[in-house]
Chain A
Amino acid sequence: MRKTLLIIRREYLSRVKKKSFLLMTILVPLLFMGMTGLVAYLTHTGGDAITEVAVIDKSGFFLPQLKNSKSLIFLPTAEEFSDAKLRAREDGSFVLFIPKDIGDQSQVQLVSEKKAPMFITNEIENQINNILRTKHLQEAGIDIATLERIKPNVSIEYKELTDEGEKKTDTKAAYAISFAAAILIYICLFIYGAQVMRGVIEEKTSRIVEVIISSVKPFQLMLGKIIGIGMVGLTQFLLWVTLSYLATKITDVQALPMLSALQTIPVGYILVTFLAYFLGGYLLYSALFAAVGSAVDNETETQQFMFPITLPLLFTYIMAFSFIVNNPNSTLSFWLSMIPFTSPIAMMVRIPFGVPDWQLYLSITFLIAGFIFTTWVAARIYRVGILMYGKKSSYRELLKWFLYKE
């Protein structure tokens, strides 16, 4: 036990003391802060470009009623349409032509040397249709003041029925968190799993492994490495969460609709479940990564063994975005969030939409059983693999190692 602790300590400290760890820890929240800042900036200004549209209104009816917006300005012009077209070809400006007799089905023309952005055509269509509709309503004898008054403005406020009563939820925020959690778990399982694998390969190629396992059991070495690196991951997370929290305090992101929507989500609950699934998934997969590392002599040989490890993760990752996020409570989503190999990602996608407690406990129980199983399998391969030098190993070889007695 004391020896395992020594190994954990070395694995942890040797990584945390590295400059790259410090860099990652500081850089990621800074990036996060920078990204939110950029998003805030862009949504507030909506882009600086102002588009001018020259209007030739043969009817004379629309021009006075067209309203300028922040990014769109209408300018009257006395030119003929043909002259205006020629000019537009040269200076790239927009020309809007409204014919004299304009019925409900007729078309106005917008010409320009380049393609008109969607927001410009939408805006112009909306305005002209509104002007026409108002005109027709007036002609039908409806008072504009009355019309303004009765304009309804209904939006959906979605409330979930829970044991604690009605709960206000925001599906958009749930989506956002689902996506973020799935991506984060997926990336982290690979980053830290690969670190375990590289650590094993390093010990094997530098031949120190034989010195170490003449002092401790191979299982202790493997476990110590897995736990040590897992703690590095946890440390990094906690630092990120803390730093990101501080970062959001500084940048005052309350103004952002997306982040203020986060307030309707139980952040603490999600954080705890995230850590649980990260840890469980990490323990499950890193044991397999360790077994792969023990079976090879260098990193390029790992490819053939990586496929079966990558497959369930990639599958769930794709399922997460194409299916689970839209059907979080379907049977398929349920099973994906129960199977230990897929549950870390699948369950994290479901959680923001609400998951019954019993499912959560069952899934975590399976996950724990899963990583005990993979650790057992991996340890049997590992103990033989680390002493096999210069041998190209195959799946058959791995099976043979697994079946060796003691």
Chain B
Amino acid sequence: MLSGFPATPTMLKIENIVKQYADHRALDNVSLEVEKGCIFGLLGPNGAGKTSLIRIINQITAPDEGSVYINGERLNPAHINRIGYLPEERGLYKKMEIGEQTLYLAQLKGLSKAEALQRSQYWFEKLEMQSWWKKKVEDLSKGMQQKVQFVATVIHEPDLIILDEPFSGFDPINAEVIKNEILELNKKGATIIFSTHRMESVEQLCDSIALIHKSKKVLDGRLKDIRNSYRSNTYCIEYLGEEIKPEATELYEVVKSRNLEDTKEIVLKLRNGVKVNDALQYLLSVAQIQQLTEVIPTINEIFIQQVNGIDHA
């Protein structure tokens, strides 16, 4: 290939998945691809089918139709040990000691006892949990339990880490700690899938996303591309001085205008073909510009736009 960009290998490929429960179709012909080494957001409201899809990837259930590929291989039992899964419903054995429990879960993911012990010690030290080793889960706080659960999810150094509602239940400080650990694992090469209905919580982190609504995929792709495609040449300008009048109608139309405490703010949608510099040149002549930002819809707004389009169709 002459192109300068090497094709990024695919970590996970989902092809035309259908999952039917007795009277409810949980997934309707869903396809998507997750590139290796990226952070992927699987987004959608509660009950959209995210957990059903994750359970299929984890081989907890099987699809009625369609297929799943990991690293180009059809999903098979050997893949189980390569995936780390943090379910939305967190759970540990309440009466079992933390250390013993971590060792057990690690060994179930295929580690030898020695490896399990060594990695547990590494993680317990890293997250400052050493003193919990002999404690029982029921003696820990919710946040502490979440940390243990996170360790159990990543202890076998999975290539693919799937986190369902990753930050729910954490206090802000621990959420930050866990977020940094996830980013570090990603830097080391792990592919991360965040599944959440709180889109704003992962928007900053994701490279790519897929939106799922009512069992169907409604949108997917690189976050940047998606947002670019939703750009509408709209800018928000903060300025001092006289109020900007909607007089230069050949350049823009005013979407909204308001007074802030010391400054004023105006949102302008530029006419087709008008460059931001052209508009700025004019504006500089009438007002003292403090700040100019492009208005790009958030994922949440894009989602609502998409869903409304579907529901009204």
Contact = CB atoms under 8 A, between A and B. Distances in A.
A14 B90 CA distance: 21
Interface of B is mostly: loop
Nearest to A403: B22
A199 to B, nearest CB: 10
Contacts of B64: 405
Nearest to B149: A211
A3 B93 contact: no
Interface residues of A, number: 23
Interface in A190-219: 202-203, 206-216
A213 B87 CA distance: 11
Interface in B87-132: 87, 89-96, 104-105, 107-110
Contact of A208 (B60, B80, B81, B93): B93
A211 B85 CA distance: 7
A207 B142 CA distance: 14
Interface of A: 3, 6-7, 10, 14, 202-203, 206-216, 387, 389, 400, 405-406
B152 A211 contact: yes
A213 B60 contact: yes
A389 B89 CA distance: 10
Size band of the interface chain B makes with A: 20 to 34
A216 B60 CA distance: 9
Contacts of B94: 202, 206
B61 A212 contact: no
Contacts of A209: 91
B191 interface: no
A203 B22 CA distance: 25
A405 to B, nearest CB: 7
Contacts of B152: 211
Nearest to B138: A206
30 contacts: A3-B108, A6-B104, A6-B107, A7-B108, A14-B95, A14-B96, A202-B94, A203-B91, A206-B92, A206-B93, A207-B90, A207-B91, A208-B92, A210-B87, A210-B91, A211-B85, A211-B91, A211-B149, A212-B105, A212-B108, A213-B60, A214-B58, A214-B85, A215-B81, A215-B105, A216-B108, A387-B61, A389-B89, A405-B62, A405-B64
B92 A6 contact: no
Contacts of A207: 87, 89-91
A3 B105 CA distance: 10
A6 B62 CA distance: 25
Contacts of A210: 60, 87, 89, 91
A130 B60 CA distance: 84
Nearest to A206: B91
Contact of B22 (A6, A212, A400): A400
Nearest to A9: B104
B268 to A, nearest CB: 50
B34 interface: no
B151 to A, nearest CB: 12
B188 to A, nearest CB: 22
Contacts of B81: 215
B155 to A, nearest CB: 11
Contacts of A6: 104, 107-108
A206 B104 CA distance: 16
A216 B93 CA distance: 16
